[in-house]
Structure 1
Amino acid sequence: DGTGAQRRAERAERADAPAGGSANGPVASGDGGGGGEEAWGDGLIARRVDENGGAEQFAVLPSRPAASSAALMPLAYDGNLRSRLDALRELVGLSRTRLDSATLAEAGRVLDEAAARRRLSGQHTVVAIAGATGSGKSQLFNTLAGVTISETGVRRPTTAAPIACSWSDGAASLLDRLGIPGRLRRRPLQHPDSESPLRGLVLIDLPDHDSAAVQHREQVDRILALVDAVIWVVDPEKYADAVLHERYLRPMAGHAEVTLVVLNQVDRLPGEAAEQVLDDLRRLLDEDGIALGEYGEPGATVLALSALTGEGVGELRETLGQFVAERQAPARRIAADVDAAARHLRPVYVTGRRTGLSEEAREEFADRLADAVGATAAGEAAERAWLRNANRACGTPWLR
């Protein structure tokens, strides 16, 4: 409506206005709060290191007109997925008075998230980069962005909060859903929106999933449940880590089509060792039940690269470009969530025993049915009449 368009235009004007009132003035970083949060809500800030190796600087990219955000199309599910969601919704509705809320909680969450994601942009794909401490995921995040955005270093854990990088405008509502504040939203500088091969990508650098800080692990679990796809970054030392496989990869085996597994730091492996480690990684993923899309069939993508030297990064960038251009990841993620919810509920509704009534149950059912229709009383009356007639015909004279 006109009021909504006016508000969007006002927000766009505030976002275009330079902080401090000067076109070349410095841009202050912070949570925002009030007008500041709105002005930075679309993540139009990027950090970069100057050519002389000086301190990091902030650069503001020009934002698009407000009409650009208004033109974004919401996500559309195909008929099959809509039918499955409707069936799950009906099942949950019919079961609320028969099952406890804990049993239906996961199915309810899937329905809520499917509805929330459908209202948001269908032209963006939200991909999280996840990994263990020291796997090099933040370095890979920076390499893909072409800008030093996420802090890297030997201090563990290094990434304390999720950081977002969007390759095009209009991703603010998606990042709001993830709970990522405006001060942690960035934009790459190497491509204009119209020329970027990754246009539509929203990349999230997560904290370490094995961090000693409980709040870091909680953030990882929360965001992994909301993103459209995940890039798992593993290194030659921790690719077989039991926590990774048992807590994350195995339970999400059904999400193989929206999963990429990247073996990083292959520059540390001599000779053919990289291929051997990659083959062993594929073996472990197969044992986890994750389908591997190695010959064109649907499944997870497995790559080897080095974020430090750039080896294999081009292949990952090309794979991500095709993945984002298809715009199928959000729907595939929701479909996989529906599959998982159905598997969770199946034992509640379907037993492994032979179908049909047992003899005991059949007799009990027949007795209750007879009582309900009055057949029992009629039978007893008929039996009494038969006995009377038999006594008159065949009994002794004094009993007739």
Structure 2
Amino acid sequence: MTPEDRFPGPELPETGPRARLALDPLSYGYESGDHGGPQQPWAGPGYGGQGHGSQGHSGQGHGGQGHGGPGGAAEGAVHSGESSTVRGWFEAGGGATASGFDPDAPGRPPFEPTDPPTLDLGAPVSAAPPAGAPDPLPEPADTAPVGPLYAVGDVHGYLGELRAALYEQGLVDADGHWSAARSRLWFLGDFTDRGPDGIGVIDLVMQLAAEAAAAGGYCRALMGNHELLLLGAHRYADEPVQSSAGTASFLAAWRLNGGQQNDMDRLEPHHIRWLSRLPAVALEDGHLLLHSDTTAYLEYGASIDEVNDTVHELLASDDADGWWDCFRRFTRRFAFRGEAGPAAAGELLEAYGGHRVVHGHSPIPYLTGEAPGEDGRPPLRITGPHVYADELAVAMDGGVTMDGRLLVARLPLE
């Protein structure tokens, strides 16, 4: 089994305490800039052969020990048969049946961090709230926004943490409504999976987009690999797709990567339309905004418009294998880490413009080599985004799924 595709395991619990899984077990290829060579699997705690963390996925897991405890074994009862309720797409009893993790995958040598320390977020910038209730779908203001620019890292269903982080930065009021006037806000993708309320997160982002536009600012979002995964699981379910590991399915991969049944049950047509139209790449104030720390975007176009058009055309097609390949490519990570990292970031900046890449996807503790493990190391205290790759890249995934922090930061970082 190659490290690009790892799936499927037993179904994950619908909800529960914070997940311990920090990285996607499926398609987690390492790019050539990473130490240890191209696309080597991480066999450390919480990843690869060690299972999904010492305490199991989502705390409760599948019975007593959770999914993929020590040795990669899943103990306890496995949820089954729930797929029959998913918008009529899935047949009763549809489950994950393909092979699981490879316990003999080679390990990775320890990564010695040489990058600058993370940056403190500093005090938020306050802004006056807009007057009156906004129209549900207002037209953008004619005058271009001139307010400050903010970015939000991976949310993964943690709606409460998101609202708290936005409130702390003065972007929403105590009731969760836009209060940042002409500010500009970009979400970097991965709204769902692992956490308890992914659909609630999507609803909030859509609400803020309408409210911000009415106030003369804007709230926009990128497509992450988990958006591709959710859409694929909804559309193609257990339909076989071609994978380098053999026969795969979106539904099995979605379950393995933290898919929550309550999100799928609540996914509505307007959510699907909105998610399908999200851009994959954006350029704002010299910041090249991406979800994934990968150079795979270059495989979809030589310009930002070309990349976004290619992805949108793909999602409008019936090419399940093409969907899967896009998901697999956008699940790669760590391209900007290590000695070759600055060159990889520079390649993207040269192609698409800007002076710094801002991304989510890979949790900061893994980028710095300080992820908590079974050796007694305490969790890394995340104080803000991580600037690295000769200051050409900014990581925004604070590891909310691993007891880290959901990051909202004002750009640029100095």
- Structure with a larger share of its residues in helix: 1
Please identify the structure whose Cα radius of gyration is greater: 1
Compare relative contact order (CA 8 Å, sep 6+) and give the higher one, 1 or 2: 2
Q: Give the TM-score range, shorter chain.
A: under 0.3
TM-score by length of structure 1 reads: 0.27
TM-score (normalised: structure 2): 0.26
